[in-house]
Copies of this chain bind each other. A is one copy, B any other.
Amino acid sequence: MEEVRQDGGAKDGIKRSSATSVGYESELQLRVRYQETDQMGVVYHGNYFTYFEMGRTELLREATGASYRHVEELDVMMVVSEARCQYLKPARYDDLLTLKTRVARITGASLSHEYELYRDDVLLAKGATTLVCVNKEGRIVPVPDWIRNFNKGAVPGNSE
């Protein structure tokens, strides 16, 4: 994305020296559904945020082996506090798209991702979200360590 891709992609199997998961990037392929189009003949702009959600989910699974479902079972909910998207070219029905998702920033209680959506080599959209960790009472809690560091060994009680 905008910044240099760090060594965090884990695609080479080399453990990142960095203490955090910032820079970790993963890719997802998705097929545009008819339901996602609107009468302009393109993907409705609001649906890109669903794609981004899928990107975050698969990044977490790839990096930690755990599902976001597991995060919620541990009584942490990651609430979207900010979301934005720039639409460069339309995505269309049945397009096979590639979504690149990257961990952009981590603070005490928040996690920011950046997204790029491609059809072949054409960049269609760029987006970003920030998630805040809260417990079931809605109180802000720290980003769990195993998410902060993408340490598979440290996922509590994960049996997946």
Q: A: which residues have CB within 8 A of B? A: 1-2, 28-31, 33-35, 37-42, 44-47, 49-50, 53-54, 57-58, 67-69, 72, 77, 79-87, 90, 92-94
Contact = CB atoms under 8 A, between A and B. Distances in A.
B93 A87 contact: no
A71 to B, nearest CB: 11
23 contacts: A1-B28, A1-B30, A1-B54, A34-B38, A34-B39, A34-B53, A35-B38, A35-B44, A35-B53, A38-B38, A40-B77, A40-B79, A45-B49, A45-B83, A46-B49, A46-B53, A57-B94, A68-B93, A69-B92, A80-B87, A82-B84, A82-B86, A82-B87
Contacts of A49: 45-46, 49
B2 A31 contact: yes
Contact of A46 (B35, B38, B57, B94): B35
A34 B72 CA distance: 12
A138 to B, nearest CB: 8
A46 B50 contact: yes
A44 B79 CA distance: 10
A33 B45 contact: no
A75 to B, nearest CB: 13
A39 B83 contact: no
Contacts of A46: 35, 46-47, 49-50, 53, 83
Given A39-B41, A82-B87, 11 more contacts: A1-B54, A2-B29, A34-B44, A35-B53, A38-B38, A46-B53, A46-B83, A57-B94, A68-B94, A83-B84, A83-B85
